[in-house]
Every structure is written in C-alpha cells, then in structure tokens.
Amino acid sequence: MIEFPSTFAISTFDWVLIIICAVLIGMSKTGVPGVSMIVVPTLALIFGGKQSTGVLLPILIMADVFAVIYYHRHANWRHLLRALPWAVTGLLLALWIGNQVNDQQFKRMIAIIVFLSIIVMIWKDYGFKKEFTPDHWLFAALLGVAGGFATMIGNVAGPIFAIYLLAMHLDKKGYIGTTAWFFFIINLSKFPLQALVWKNITLHTLTIDILVFPAIALGAWFGIFVVKRISELTYKWLVVVITVLSALLIFV
C-alpha cells in the first residue's frame, strides 16, 4: 500500500503549484498543446513518481469531460478505433513494469519519457512530412503501444498520439475532437487499474482533485477563449524549456 501524506500536510506553495497544474491541464484539453508536459514533472516533485500519477489522473478525467462536451461531434472514430486496442496493450505493459520498480526508478522513467516526448513534439513541428499518410496497420500499432505506455507511466502521450493524427490529415476540430475522446476513454480505463493495482488513487488524492476542480474549469475556459491570442511559437518554446528543467530536477 502506498503511503500518501494528508492533504493538510501539503505546503501552501505546493498547493499553489497544484492549482496552476490544474489550470494548465484544463487548457491542454481544450486545444493548447504541450502544457501538460510541465504538469507531469511538477507533480512528481511534489508527490513522488507513482503517487503523482494517482493525483493527476482524476484531474485529467475531469478536464477530458470539458473537452468531450465541447468537441464531441468532431471526433473521427475510424482513426480512433484503429489505435485504441494497441494503446490498451501499451497501457497494460506499463502497468506491469510500474509494479516492478521503486519510486526513484519510476520518477526517472517519467523524466526519460518526458524527454522523448519533447523530442517527438519538436520533430512533429519541424521534421514531420505532412504529405506522409501511412495506411499500414503497423503504424497505428507502434504509435498506439508507445502512446499507451507513455500515458500510463507519465501521462505524456499527447505528442505521440499527435503524430498519428497529423498523419491522417485531420482538420483542427477533428484533431481536437478525436484526441479528446481517445484520452477520455484511455484515462477512464486507467482509473480502476491504478486504484486497484498501483493503489495510488485514495480518498486523500481524490480530495485534492475535487478541491482543484474550479481551477480545471477555469483552465478549460481559458484554453478555448484566451490562449489563441498568445504567439504559438513563443508559448511552445516556453513550455519546452520549463519542462526540460523540471524533468532534469526529478531525474537527479
């Protein structure tokens, strides 16, 4: 059984960071890419590796609800269903591996996956050939397994799934809608596994998640209506720099 500190033992500064993370998650689910990359290492620093994923998952699910409600009609189910079974395979593989390592090793796995996801995100923007349209089932299988593994270990499968959807040439709303449904389904599937197998979702963690719900809603609104005014290039590189620094902190 994983020991988890009482919610009242969390410092004021940590609460501020948790609330900021909740806002960023809400933003990421309503169309602001890359923000959750900052959240993952930040929560790992506060709660530890495996415990942080138990805090983060219900926050993600609540934010997924906002995204699904707003973009549900734009999902492309054909592309989603091609990748979903493979993502579950990767998820189950990560579930088993997560039980074989200690918390320090788990945190380092998170850091490594974050680094790899950043590389994928940069490659997606600057090296990805948009005219490439892979139809072979192996493409969906490889990215599905990789995405399932990354989302279970560190909740950082966004860049990997983005590569898959960009290759399918979806429009903006189709991309966001398909992503919203994919992660809503995957995150709901992860909930009982983490609660019963990893045992890192408890009444304490759920209390934290419920308390930050208004921050998630604020982030979702902010993501839809405000962030479009920010330069995407500036914002993206700020996310990359802060994420790299955060991942370095949890790796050492």
Q: Does a structural domain hold residue 223?
A: yes
Q: Does a structural domain hold residue 2?
A: no
What is the rounded distance in angstroms from the CA atom of residue 24 to the CA atom of residue 222? Answer: 9
DSSP assignment letter at 197: I
Structural domain that includes position 73 = 7-251
What is the rounded distance in angstroms from the CA atom of residue 148 to the CA atom of residue 237? Answer: 25
150, 155, 156, 159: CA torsion to nearest 10: 90
Which pTM does this prediction carry? 0.82
pLDDT digits (tens, 9 = 90+) for 8-57: 478 999 999 999 999 999 988 876 766 777 898 899 989 988 899 999 99
Tokens of 16: 């501020």
Q: Does a structural domain hold residue 173?
A: yes
Q: Does a structural domain hold residue 1?
A: no
User: How many distinct structural domains can be found in the chain?
Assistant: 1
Strands (E) across 118-239 are located at none
pLDDT digits (tens, 9 = 90+) for 170-222: 777 787 789 889 999 999 999 999 999 999 999 999 999 999 999 999 998 88
What is the rounded distance in angstroms from the CA atom of residue 32 to the CA atom of residue 26? Answer: 9
Q: How many CB atoms lie within 10 A of CB 179?
A: 24
205, 209, 212, 213: CA torsion to nearest 10: -170
